[in-house]
Amino acid sequence: MAMVPMKQMLDEAGKKGYGVGAYNVNNMEQIQGIVKAARETGSPVIIQASRGALKYTNLVYLKHLMMAAVEDNPDLKIALHLDHGDKLESVKTAISLGFTSVMIDGSLKEDGKTPRTFEDNAEITRSVVEYAHQYGVTVEGELGTLGGIEEHIQASVVLLTDPKEAQKFVEYTGVDALAVAIGTSHGAYKFKATPTLALNIVDEIHKLVPGLALVMHGASSVPQELIAKVNKYGGKLPGAMGVPISSIQEAIKFGVRKINVDTDSRLAMTGAIREVFAIKPDKFDPRDYLGPAREAVYELIKTKMIDFGTAGHNDDYSPITLEDTKRAYAR
């Protein structure tokens, strides 16, 4: 089974200058749609779950669904990632479930709103790195805060990442990847107009720490055709707007290697389900609407893998194990 450390996946992406999508999941249909897209496009893929997703599925259910994707696709390179871990205990839980990568979001306090000081963020992140690297597990940190809302996370103030602080943060903590705040935002209602992202921040951090994998959160593009479909069949999402693909592609050129996508797949599923309910009101078998929802996720993620440049890179390298990475960290 080619379940790989996320560090290897992002390092390889850095060598050839492409980005790897990290797709949030909550159920079987999302996972199946994502891996189908990865198989068809020949893409390595990061499947990630938030604390909320793990809670929703009572931990073990989602674990086995994710492991089923790995077992069913032995030739695909798959990293399992914890999204927005808030403390060391969350990270320990994810590692015990078999995750190959974890994020510690030390940018906010446990209320999900109040920004932590640089020093507090650095200390909690360093403690997670020290723990996770013992198991060969990749660690993603975050510096700066994003706008919008994701589950219960809604920063009280938006703080863009300072490149010199980022360099200091990475040197102190030893993180493998860093989520940076450059003006992106969580959720469907990211912007009121086409955004101008602070890509100079990405460029400067990449120059200061060239071997570091940078991460873009809040990167769903909120395709207007998906919004139109949801609204056509009874939804109410006026004015929803996301990050243009062109901006993401520019960020990849400047050093972004991991791109988080959550809202877009939710929209794709919701539009497909609403269409079935509206056009075929006699349907009541969950397979009749979850099947089209799964297909909608597949179609969406396939375009992401092509747009991010991930397509065709699954077979570029041989997978290493957590044990291999553990020894590398020890050295």
Q: Reply yes or no on whether 83 is catalytic.
A: yes
Could you give the count of Cα atoms lying within 13 Å of 284 in the half-sphere of its Cβ?
Answer: 1
20-24 and 101-104 strand pairing: unpaired
Burial tier of 71 (Cβ tally within 10 Å: 0-12, 13-18, 19+): exposed
Task: Give yes or no for a contact between 144 and 218, defined as CB atoms under 8 angstroms apart.
Answer: no
Q: How many CB atoms lie within 10 A of CB 281?
A: 8
Annotated catalytic residue within 11, 72, 75, 83? 83
CA 215 to chain centroid, in Å, comes to: 8
Measured distance CA(81)–CA(97) in Å, rounded: 11
Q: End-to-end alpha-carbon separation of the chain, Å?
A: 26
What's at 167, amino acid-wise? Answer: Q
Please provide the DSSP assignment of 260-319 as one string: EE-HHHHHHHHHHHHHHHHH-TT---HHHHHHHHHHHHHHHHHHHHHHTT-TT-TTSS--
Task: Give yes or no for a contact between 29 and 268, defined as CB atoms under 8 angstroms apart.
Answer: no
Catalytic positions: 83
